[in-house]
Amino acid sequence: MQLTEQSTIREYFQENGYAIIDTGIDEAVLDAAVAGLSPYFGDERVEPEGVSYADPGRIQDAWFIENSVYKIATSESVLSSLKEIYGLEAEPFQTLNFYKGTGQPTHSDSIHFNCEPFGNMCGVWVALEDIGPDQGPLRIYPKSQELEEMNYPDFGLEPGYDQYPQYLNGIENLIEKHGYEERRAIIKKGQAVIWAANVLHGGSPQNDISLTRKSQVTHYYVGKPKAWRPSESTNGRAYFVPETLGDCTTPGFRAHPGPSIVTRVAGRARRLRDHARVVAKGVLNKLGR
């Protein structure tokens, strides 16, 4: 994947559903995010307090406890690129920091957090180190953003995370039907991939488990849309007010209460199930099935 020319970033994004930029974020900020969160990753980790969710490989909303995460999410170069693409102001509402590759199954972000008008949301994946092919890089299916809005009912499913595996099967069928081909984000430290809300993406297999894949994803809403969560919309759309990121070094900053035990267990179970699915798919591919 090549850097997208800033002069053509909007048209390239509209055509392909993604773009790659050089963020120009100070390397000291990137390194601070890695150093500040390193105690919370791995099997011997310390359990972080004051974040939305954490497991050995990822931390959600680490901006509550590490200011460099907030600085990356609010980088002027990223925000200006999003303004160039959408013509609207972007506001970050969630961060995810990773230590290793996730092997996450292919999906679109709009199944997790959608909005009205549709499409006014995006993700940005910033490399906190050079990312090579064996580290489980992000994979994207260009032009898949042209698909219609895809919520549970569009696959004949009832809304809810218990139907998520069936949703993933539906996504795989769409990829095969349309003949989409994946591209893997082999990018340098400080570069970033921006992708559209509806573009299909996931994590590629990590070929060398001894390697890390230190990176940060930030999700943004653009133009202050009305946000809602498809997986929680069992009785009409479950609207919510997106979190506003803040500087945790500010006096009087409100700390996050942390996830409940139910949230931790459910999240961990879902990620283990996703991982098992990716491993099984890899085995079948090797067998030529």
Name the packing angle between helices 76-86 and 9-16 (round to 10°): 70
**More confident of the two residues 284 and 32:** 32
128 domain residue, yes or no? yes
What is the spatial distance between Cα 203 and Cα 185, in angstroms, rounded to a whole number? 10
Domain annotation covers residue 286: no
What residues make up the domain containing 119? 6-258
Residue 209 C-beta-side C-alpha neighbours within 13 Å: 3
The answer to whether residue 68 sits within a structural domain is yes
Q: What is the rounded average pLDDT of the residues 217-235?
A: 97
Residues, the chain, total? 289
Please state the domain count of the chain. 1
Residue 279 parent element (H or E): helix 261-286
Q: Quick check: 247 and 72 in contact, CB under 8 A?
A: no
Cα 24 to Cα 167: distance, rounded to the nearest angstrom: 37
On whether residue 276 sits in a domain, the answer given is: no
Higher pLDDT, 284 or 169: 169
For residue 12, the model assigns a pLDDT of: 96
Residues 173, 175, 178, 182, Cα dihedral to 10°: -170
**Is the residue at 278 inside a domain?**
no
Neighbouring C-beta atoms of residue 208, cutoff 10 Å: 11
Whether the Cβ atoms of residue 123 and residue 218 lie closer than 8 Å to each other: yes
Please give the pLDDT value at position 259.
52
Q: Within a domain: residue 270?
A: no
Whole-structure pTM value: 0.88
Q: Residue 285 falls within a domain, yes or no?
A: no
179 touches 142 (CB < 8 A): no
In a domain, 90, yes or no: yes
Q: What is the residue whose two structure tokens read 């039907």?
A: 177
Task: Check which CATH number belongs to the domain holding 112 and give it.
Answer: 2.60.120.620
Residue 288 has pLDDT above 80, yes or no: no
pLDDT tier for residue 197 given thresholds of 50, 70 and 90: very high
Model pLDDT for residues 28-82, shown as the tens digit of each residue = 999 999 999 999 999 999 999 999 999 999 999 999 999 999 999 999 999 999 9
Mean pLDDT in residue range 120-144: 98
Average pLDDT of the chain, as a whole number: 91
